[in-house]
Amino acid sequence: MKKFIKKAFNVSGYEIRRRVIDPKYEPRDSFLQQKALLGAVTDPLIFDVGANVGEVTGEYRRLFPNAIIYAFEPFPESFRRLQTTFASDRRVHPHQLGFAARAGTVPFNVNSDAVTNSLLMTDAVGSSFWGINIFGYNSADRGRDRDRRCFLPD
């Protein structure tokens, strides 16, 4: 099966190989693991989908100073902070839209902590993880916001 998969990808112009991660990198640090996996690639093209205010985008800029980063965030308040943070960075391109299973507009779930906003329905179990009342700003909002633009990648 392994040979079949490799051959199928090779025919399409791709190569699959196992990469040994450098043991000096902390296994729990996913950013350093990604840097190790990319090896000599110093200028990757990065998509930060659900960028929120840009914390992950900033970490990618630190690790890959030559990267081009497209940061997507549909929530207006978070997007404004993302846009302001990277306003002078020509290699970061913020876009106020989200990704979904189809193009168009869909309901956007707004929670009391913007980092948990999502196109997916909010589950009450999330409160046990986040330690907050995760649902909307008040009972009238109850986790719903205006429809947001969503994008279906080809």
Tell me, what's the pLDDT at 139?
36
The answer to whether 77 and 51 are in contact (CB under 8 A) is no
DSSP-based three-state secondary structure for 98: strand
Class of domain 20-96: alpha beta
Q: pLDDT band at residue 82, thresholds of 50, 70 and 90?
A: very high
Mean pLDDT value across residues 91-118: 81
> Locate tokens 């308040």: which residue?
77
| Tens-digit pLDDT profile for residues 42-69 | 899 999 999 999 999 999 999 999 999 9
Give residue 127's region: left, alpha or beta (phi > 0; psi -120 to 50): alpha
**Of 24-28, 34-38, 45-49, which gets the smallest average pLDDT?**
24-28
Domain ranges (residues) in the chain: 20-96, 105-154
- What confidence tier does 33 reach under pLDDT thresholds 50, 70, 90? confident
How far is it, in rounded angstroms, from Cα 38 to Cα 141? 43
Question: What is the C-alpha separation between 73 and 31, in angstroms, rounded?
Answer: 20
Answer with the residue of higher pLDDT: 76 or 23: 76
Percent of the chain, pLDDT > 70? 71
Instruction: Look up residue 5 and give its two tokens.
Output: 């998969």
Alpha-carbon span 123 to 1, nearest angstrom: 38
DSSP E strands, the chain: 45-49, 68-72, 92-95, 98-99, 104-108, 145-151
